[in-house]
Each structure stands twice: as C-alpha cells, then as structure tokens.
Amino acid sequence: MERTFVMIKPDGVARGLTGKIVARFEAKGFTLVRAQLMQVSVELAEKHYAHLKEKPFFGELVDYIISGPVFAMELSATNAIQNARSLIGATNPVNAAAGTIRGDFATDVASNVIHGSDSEESVQIELTNFFGSL
Ligand code: RTP
C-alpha cells in the first residue's frame, strides 16, 4: 500500500463537494487514513506553492487557497499517488476527461477544486506541512 496527500480546495469545500469527492476515492478502493477541515495560513500557502513563486498568478493562487477552509486528506491504496492523479484529472479542467473530478466539477484552472501530490517526495513534504507529522 502507498499513501498520498489530497486536498479539496476552498471552492470544492464551499460548493459542498467534499462528500461526493471522498465517496469517489472510497469507491475506487482508497482508504481514508487522516482528514481535517482546516484554514491554510499565508505561510503554509507560500510553502505549498513555492515551486510557482515566479509565476504571474502566484499572488492570486495564495489568495485563493486561503480564501476558505480546505479538506486535507491522507489516503492509502495500491499506487495511491498515480491512482489519485488519474481520478483528479488534468490541471486545467479544459483538458480533464469527463469522469475525472476536475472534468466533472471544474471549468477554471485557477479554481480547480482539488490537489493531489505528484511524487513520493511531495507526499512526505505535504503530509508533514498539513498534518504536522508523517
Ligand atoms: P495540483 O498541485 O494542484 O494538483 O496541480 P498540478 O500539480 O496539476 O499543477 P501545478 O503546476 O503544481 O499548479 C498548482 C495549481 O496552480 C494553479 N494554477 N493556476 N492561473 C493559472 O494559469 C494557473 N496555473 C496553475 C492550479 O490551481 C493548479 O492546480
């Protein structure tokens, strides 16, 4: 079993999609290990998106991720990282296939409902950043 970090972003929580999204992961075969509804601080937002610091949309991205509570999850499954990315779909909802979370629930790259870690290294960093421990 592998673990991954997935976060329902403020637009997903505000739109009442948390239950539907968790159900999709559970139906696929993921186990929910830890979860918390939490407010992201500016410090955590800037750390989480440090790789995008030079992008013109960085300020908007930070404002968006702190705009309301997020639902942070640790999920476990076989090939959890890749399977979660497949369920989530392409970053830009325009390119996300129907049947994926972004394909079904999002239209805008700037508010694309959900985040999933993209590597084992990111999982370790993000679980530590969001839950305070591995
Ligand atoms: P994520 O980390 O959220 O799963 O997304 P990702 O790896 O597929 O994409 P990444 O390049 O790390 O981008 C992180 C988030 O930045 C926002 N974004 N906005 N306005 C824009 O053009 C733009 N481009 C990216 C998205 O919310 C994306 O998920």
Fold of 2-131: Alpha-Beta Plaits (3.30.70)
Alpha carbon of 113 to ligand 1 centroid (Å):
11
Mutate which of 115, 117, 125, 126 for ligand 1 pocket (most atoms within 8 A of beta carbon): 115
Q: How far apart are CA 42 and CA 48, in angstroms?
A: 10
Coil/strand/helix, residue 87: helix
**Whose alpha carbon is nearest atom 14 of ligand 1?**
49
Tens place of pLDDT for every residue, the chain, 134 residues?
Answer: 999 999 999 999 999 999 999 999 999 999 999 999 999 999 999 999 999 999 999 999 999 999 999 999 999 999 999 999 999 999 999 999 999 999 999 999 999 999 999 999 999 999 999 999 98
ipTM: 0.90
**Domain ranges within the chain, ordered by starting residue:** 2-131
Which pTM was predicted?
0.96
**Whose alpha carbon is nearest atom 6 of ligand 1?**
91
Determine contact, residues 61/9, Cβ cutoff 8 Å: no
Alpha carbon of 19 to ligand 1 centroid (Å):
23
